[in-house]
Amino acid sequence: MPITRRQSKLFQKLLTEQQSSSSDNSIMTTNNDNNLEDIEDIINPIKKEEEELLTESIIKDEVVEDNVVLIDYFSQTFQQRFQQEYQAIKNFRLENPNAPVDTMGCSSLADPLTDDKTKRFQSLIALMLSSQTKDEITAKAVNKLKEANGCKVEEVNKLTEEEIQKLIYPVCFYKRKSTYIKKVCKILIEKYDGDIPRDVKSLQSLPGVGPKMAYLCMTSAWNETVGIGVDTHVHRISNRLKWVNPTTTPEKTRLELEKYVPKEEWNTINYVLVGFGQTVCKPVGPKCETCVVKDTCHYHKDLMSDKIEKKKSKKRTSLGKTKKEEELEEETVDIKEEEEEEIIEKKTKKSTTKKKKSTTTKNKRKSFP
């Protein structure tokens, strides 16, 4: 049976007690010596195992908890890998500012010439419309609202839901979003004097405003970064690169990232990864071959191994088919050979019978007077 940690502690306690008693007593019996050796034989493998686990956790960037392999965010190898990959993506984005977010992102859609209250309201509206919608469509919808009535809270509040729908179409879930916008305008006028809330909790209490919008709104509207805005791009890339332990929602990804990403990068990481997700690390058909982090990317490695495995399986199946074909060919060859042999036999039989007939006729002629 394997020895438990509790048992090992008891053995260690017993060992220390016996060692202390040995220092007091000048004479040690052979029995005591043997007992000490037996206990040491039990403890040493446990100590060795603990040391190996410790060195492995330092060498690797993973730890085991409750039989589940987890990333150790503060291990040297993980920190080096994260810094290397993040910096490479950051440099790529600086050199290639051609993503939709660079020119049509929510933070750039507020009118710079209007008053601060309206700017903040426009930032919030842009974020609400951006959910499940491409930046190009979001930008068009915000511009339509600006053209219609300046996209001011009081003016938008005067519009009916049907009128809002016509202006924001074709954003995703435009009907539902028009209802949310109408409700938000009413709340902002009644509770916040036409302004937007200045904390994440209050922003999230507004209809149609989720955690990602709230954190990004704090940055773009109030210039206060209190958390990482995690959208579908940040969520996807963080999991593909194994920057987080496997997460199922953007909110869970945010909590994981905030454990180790420096606070000064909380605002930048969203912008960097969104643009990278729009141009390179796409949800479907990612451009892995031109990716700057493909050499260390876990997703790329898994993708390549899957491709190799598929090729191998295809080869196996094709080899299987040729073997069957060969067997069939061999069978047909055998049948043909047998048929040919039968034909030859028949021919030889016919020829022999003919010869016999011819000899008999000749003999008859000779014998005839």
- pLDDT, one tens digit per residue, over 271-330 is 999 999 999 999 999 999 999 999 999 999 988 887 777 666 666 555 555 555 656 666
| Choice between 155 and 317, residue whose per-residue pLDDT is larger | 155
Percent of residues, the chain, with pLDDT higher than 70: 65
pLDDT of 80 > 50? The answer is: yes
List, as one string, the DSSP characters of 30-92.
HHHHHHHHHHHHHHHHHHHHHHHHHHHHHHSSEEEETTEEEE-TTSHHHHHHHHHHHHHHHHH
Catalytically annotated residue among 152, 177, 212, 242 = 212
pLDDT at 53: 46
225 is written with which tokens?
Answer: 């970064």
* pTM for the full predicted model: 0.68
Phi and psi torsions of 247, nearest 5°: -120, 150
For range 185-200, the mean pLDDT? 97
Task: Answer yes or no: 314 catalytic.
Answer: no
For range 226-246, the mean pLDDT? 96
Select from 252, 222, 220 the least CA-distant residue to 239.
Answer: 252
List, as one string, the DSSP characters of 181-228.
HHHHHHHHHHHSTTS--SSHHHHHTSTT--HHHHHHHHHHHH----S-
Q: Are strands 68-71 and 62-65 parallel, antiparallel or unpaired?
A: antiparallel
Select from 261, 269, 262 the least CA-distant residue to 234.
Answer: 269
Query: Cα separations (Å) of 234 from 4, 81, 241?
Result: 42, 17, 11
Provide the 3-class DSSP secondary structure of residue 319.
helix
| Choice between 68 and 28, residue whose per-residue pLDDT is larger | 68
pLDDT at 2: 47
